[in-house]
Amino acid sequence: MQKRKLGNSNLEVSAIGLGCMGMSWSYGPPKDKQEMTSLLCGAVERGVTFFDTAEVYGPFSNEELVGEALAPFRGQVVIATKFGWAPATTGEARWSALNSRPEHIKEAVEGSLKRLQVETIDLYYQHRVNPEVPIEDVAGAINNLIAEGKVRHWGLSEAGAQTIRRAHAVQPLTALQSEYSLWWRQPEEEVLPTLEELGIGFVPFSPLGKGFLTGKIDQTTTFDSSDFRSTVPRFNPENRKANQALVDLLGRFAEQKKATPAQLALAWLLAKKPWIVPIPGTTKLHRLEENLGAMGVELTPEDLRAIESASSEIKVEGARYPEIHERLTGR
C-alpha cells in the first residue's frame, strides 16, 4: 500500500482512505452492522490505514460502528472525525444548527473519544465553519485539546482560504477536507494554492462525485427518500442526463489506461499533488478493491493536461448541494 503524508505534518496515511458516512447515514437506510464491520476489517487487511467519520453521521452511530470495528487495529490505523454541529437536532434543521463554541467542542470531543474507543483522536475536523464563533477561538480550543493529549492533529472542512490562514496562524492545520473531483474543481482557484503555501494536506471527499463518476448512475436511476442525493440539484434526472458527457469522457480515457472510470477519477486526484489523499466511500468490498486499484494507474503530466483540457469543455449542470447546505461552504 502506498503511503502519503498530509502536508508538512508527520501524519502518514494510506494514499487512499475510506469514507465511512454511507455505512450509517445519508446514502439510503443504514447498512447491516456485521457487513460493514467486515468491510472495515477488509479495508485494513488491504492496507487502508485512514478512516473518516463524524459525530453527526447517524448522529453518533457511524462513530460507534467505526470505533467498534477498528478496535482490534488500534495503533495501526488513523481515524478522523468531526465536530461543529448541535447533533441533538434532526432533519433539515441539522444543517443550520452549527455549534463550534469552545465549551461545546470540549463536550463533543469526550463523546467522540468514547464512541471511537480511543484515548486520542488522530485528526479532528471542524465540520463546517461557524460564522458566529471566531475561528481563532476554535483553534484555541483545539490547541488546549492537543495539550491535554485528546487530539493529535486538526483540520477544517469546506473552509475558504482566508479562514484557513487565520486558523493556521493560531494552531497549525494538518488537513483540509472538502469536495474535489473532476466535476467539482473550484478548490483549484484559491484553496489548493493556499494549502500548498502553508504545507497543509488535502483530503477530498466525494472524489467520485457522490457515485456519479463511477458510471453506475444515469438519468433513470432512482434514489431512496433517505438518500440525500434525492435533494441535490446536480442529481435531478435532467442534470444527470446532461452530466453523462463527463462520465463518457472519463470512460474513454479509462479505456486507454485499462482502468475503470472510478479508477481514473481517483488516479487523477493522486497525480495532482503528493499531499492529496482522497477518501472515497463505499459499502461494498469489490468497490473498495476497485478504488484501491487506482494506485496502479499512472498518469503522466501529458495525461493530466489532456484529461483537464477535455473535461473543461463540458459544463457540469446543477448545484452540488441544496441551498440550505450550500450556504455553509467556502466561508
Catalytic residues: 57
Cα(20)–Cα(304) distance, integer angstroms: 29
Beta bridge partners of 19: 52, 281
Cα(162)–Cα(129) distance, integer angstroms: 12
- CA-to-CA separations, 233 to 228, 236, 237, 326, in angstroms, rounded: 11, 5, 9, 11
Instruction: For strands 12-14 and 3-5, give the pairing.
Output: antiparallel
Across the beta sheet with 151-157, the strand order is 18-19, 50-52, 78-83, 121-126, 151-157, 175-179, 201-205
**Helix, strand, coil in percent for the chain, rounding step 5:** 45, 15, 40
Instruction: For strands 18-19 and 12-14, give the pairing.
Output: unpaired
- Amino acid 177 reads Q
Comparing C-alpha atoms, which of 19, 81, 15 is closest to residue 283?
A: 19
- CA-to-CA separations, 150 to 118, 123, 154, 194, in angstroms, rounded: 9, 10, 11, 28
